[in-house]
């Protein structure tokens, strides 16, 4: 591997604030590195990196975006993790945003928040659920982040007077990020998902960087996977592979020879289409995988295993010696048990309504959808989700919209649109004993509704929507800004929540607890319950069963006399996993089952979730 003869990054302790502000500084930097043949290369290597120790699987898309690169990459990564290896995924986005926090859900799906507070693409949620592991900001980057790193280095003299270019400096930064991830997460295999489609301008430097990475690391270290799309026009009644062939040609033109092809299609890819794809991509037919539509993404790892993709990857990357067969057997047994429940016959039924202003786009609530799917499988319940857009009906229509539902979720969101209809939904659930789960904004709307209609504060509101409210029960408080160091930003990421014993919350998380205990959940919000209203709300019967461990910040609420009424200031859906379903969602689905089957006797089974919900008798300690 060729490396620069100069340090890849200069110690910046004594560097000027703006390396371009002084001609003398520029002259010194120029003198420090005259352009030589050796100095043309910029290929920094992170400390501790061992060439050959870390392998890479790079997943790229052709034809169109949205094909499911994250699903494929996470499924393949799961198979290797099941074999006892350490895997580290990374999503590389082409847009210039620093993170996903400001992206419109209609354009990009939900914002997924990592435990360390980074707001990311929804694909990170797919990785966490499939791999059952928490990811960090190292597992996600954007073009904006990459360019910012490069420009910050340039401003501090990090390139020793060189003219900074896409090649080698930007591509060098990408290679450094990948190698650094491999070292810091001690990964046997790094799974690299390149966002967008081959041929896009914004991801071209990523593709060039991984091409260089494969060249530098050597044969048997990088496996390229290309997702493509097989069209099946209804008018023709047959599959057409021409678009797939042309898309793969674009990848070959970029200097990347794929090793595996994943062909997306509505129906299983026909042999004739697969043969054409194999021929025009130089990929053996047995490495062309039909990634057709399935009832659940969680069946894809087993489909890959049956196709032999795991063995192909092990051979290409020389990883057979790292397989732990016992670990794989145990992992497969656990996963197949869950998948069996997914596809098995269900004992119960329930209809759960999701009342949000992005309800017309299910990707906006992808983690909620998945959390319900997990719980339905574990509780043998066929859950029908009913999506209700609260911007499309008036508050006085809430009862008509909810009357046939067995449970209701009011999810998070920002902005005033649809909030009064959400409040009306909360009221209907409270007054009619409909199981209710409020998430983030849904928690806040439950406080507003209770304050208005039970505490009798008709002007109760959130200052997010009514800045001059006479009863701002939800507000941003100066002392809270100081507590969390928020400034003008949101409270983001994993935080501890102190749960009181003998409450619905404690029953859900730790049913045998007789003392307060802490849980860790993920937050994404700016507004809180104003502490000056807490006593009034509690005297009227509202229980705050989860709080900040040290400060007067309310984080879980519940109603003791209700069959199931709970709200969380955090986002419980972000921590739901297939093998470890989220407790608040398990409680909601169980309550929905009881509601749906209320006129019949539930079958007697050994499942604590289907016992009557434990009433709250909380005394804050």
**Is the previous residue joined to 168 through a cis bond, with omega within 30 degrees of 0?**
yes
Closest CA to 140 of 116, 169, 170, 108: 116
Which member of 440, 449, 521, 562 is catalytic? 440
| Token code pair at residue 260 | 């595996």
Residues listed for the chain: 621
Neighbours of 447 (CB within 10 A): 28
Is 394 assigned a catalytic role?
A: no
* CA dihedral over 147, 149, 154, 155, signed as positive or negative: positive
Are 588 and 609 spatial neighbours (Cβ–Cβ below 8 Å)? no
- Who contacts 59 (Cβ-Cβ below 8 Å, separation ≥6)? 69, 72, 73, 76, 191, 192, 193, 194, 225, 226, 227
Evaluate whether 102 touches 288 at the Cβ level (below 8 Å).
Answer: no
Q: Do the Cβ atoms of 317 and 76 come closer than 8 Å?
A: no
Q: What is the 3-state secondary structure (H, E, C) of 327-395?
A: HHHHHHHHHHHHHHHHHCCCCEEEEEEEEECCCCCHHHHHHHHHHHHHHHHHCCEEEEEEEEECCCCCH
Of 119, 173, 312, 573, catalytic? 573
- CB of 141 within 8 A of CB of 552? no
Strand ranges across the sheet with 87-93: 140-142, 87-93, 189-194, 55-61, 222-229, 260-265, 288-292
Asked whether 527 and 463 are in contact (CB, 8 A), the reply is yes
Which of 54, 259, 548, 571 is labelled catalytic? 571
Residue 465's Cβ-side half-sphere holds a number of Cα atoms within 13 Å equal to 20
571 an active-site residue? yes
449 is catalytic: no
Residues assigned a catalytic role = 440, 571, 573
């Amino acid at each position: 591997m060729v490396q620069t003869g100069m340090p890849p990054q200069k110690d910046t302790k004594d560097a000027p604030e703006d390396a371009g502000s002084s001609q003398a500084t520029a002259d010194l930097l120029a003198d420090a590195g005259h352009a030589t043949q050796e100095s043309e290369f910029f290929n920094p290597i992170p400390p501790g990196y061992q060439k050959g120790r870390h392998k890479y699987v790079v997943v790229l898309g052709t034809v169109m975006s949205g094909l499911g690169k994250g699903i494929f990459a996470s499924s393949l990564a799961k198979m290797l993790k099941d074999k006892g290896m350490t895997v580290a995924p990374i999503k590389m986005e082409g847009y210039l945003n620093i993170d996903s926090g400001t992206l419109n859900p209609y354009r990009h799906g939900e914002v997924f928040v990592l435990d360390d507070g980074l707001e990311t693409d929804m694909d990170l949620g797919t990785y966490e659920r499939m791999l059952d592991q928490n990811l960090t900001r190292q597992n996600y980057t954007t073009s904006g982040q990459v360019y910012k790193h490069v420009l910050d280095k340039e401003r501090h003299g990090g390139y020793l007077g060189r003219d900074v270019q896409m090649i080698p400096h930007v591509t060098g930064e990408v290679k450094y990020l990948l190698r650094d991830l491999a070292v810091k997460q001690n990964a046997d295999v790094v799974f690299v998902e390149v966002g967008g489609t081959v041929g896009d301008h914004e991801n071209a430097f990523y593709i060039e960087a991984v091409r260089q990475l494969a060249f530098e690391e050597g044969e048997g270290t990088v496996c390229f996977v290309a997702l493509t799309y097989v069209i099946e026009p209804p008018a023709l009644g047959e599959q057409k592979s021409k678009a797939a062939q042309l898309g793969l040609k674009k990848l070959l033109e970029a200097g990347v020879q794929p090793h595996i092809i994943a062909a997306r299609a509505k129906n299983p890819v026909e042999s004739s289409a697969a043969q054409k794809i194999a021929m025009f991509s130089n990929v053996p037919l047995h490495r062309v995988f039909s990634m057709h539509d399935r009832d659940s993404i969680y069946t894809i790892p087993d489909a890959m295993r049956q196709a032999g993709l795991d063995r192909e990857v092990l051979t290409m990357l020389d990883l057979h010696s790292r397989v732990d067969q016992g670990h794989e057997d145990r992992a497969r047994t656990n996963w197949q048990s869950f998948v069996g429940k997914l596809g098995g016959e269900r004992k119960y039924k329930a209809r759960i309504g999701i009342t949000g202003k992005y309800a017309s786009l299910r990707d906006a609530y992808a983690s909620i959808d998945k959390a319900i799917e997990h719980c339905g499988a574990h509780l043998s319940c066929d859950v029908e989700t009913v999506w209700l857009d609260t911007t499309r009906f008036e508050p006085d229509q809430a009862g008509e919209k909810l009357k046939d539902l067995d449970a209701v979720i009011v999810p998070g969101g920002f902005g005033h649109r649809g909030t009064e209809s959400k409040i009306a939904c909360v009221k209907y659930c409270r007054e009619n004993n409909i199981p209710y789960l409020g998430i983030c904004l849904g928690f806040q709307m439950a406080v507003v509704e209770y304050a208005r209609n039970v505490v009798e504060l008709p002007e109760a509101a959130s200052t997010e929507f009514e800045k001059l409210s006479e009863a701002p029960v939800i507000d941003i408080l100066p002392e809270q800004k100081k507590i969390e160091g928020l400034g003008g930003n949101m409270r983001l990421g994993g935080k501890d929540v102190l749960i009181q014993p003998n409450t619905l919350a404690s029953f859900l998380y730790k049913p045998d607890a007789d003392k307060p205990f802490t849980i860790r959940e993920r937050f994404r919000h700016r507004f809180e319950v104003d502490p000056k209203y807490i006593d009034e709300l509690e005297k009227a019967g509202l229980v705050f069963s989860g709080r900040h461990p040290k400060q007067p910040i309310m984080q879980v609420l519940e109603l003791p006399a209700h069959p199931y009424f709970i709200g969380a200031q955090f986002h419980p859906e972000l921590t739901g996993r297939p093998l470890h379903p989220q407790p608040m969602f398990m409680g909601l689905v169980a309550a929905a089952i009881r509601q749906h089957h209320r006129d019949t006797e539930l079958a007697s089974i050994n499942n604590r979730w289907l016992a009557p919900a434990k009433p709250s008798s909380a005394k804050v300690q």
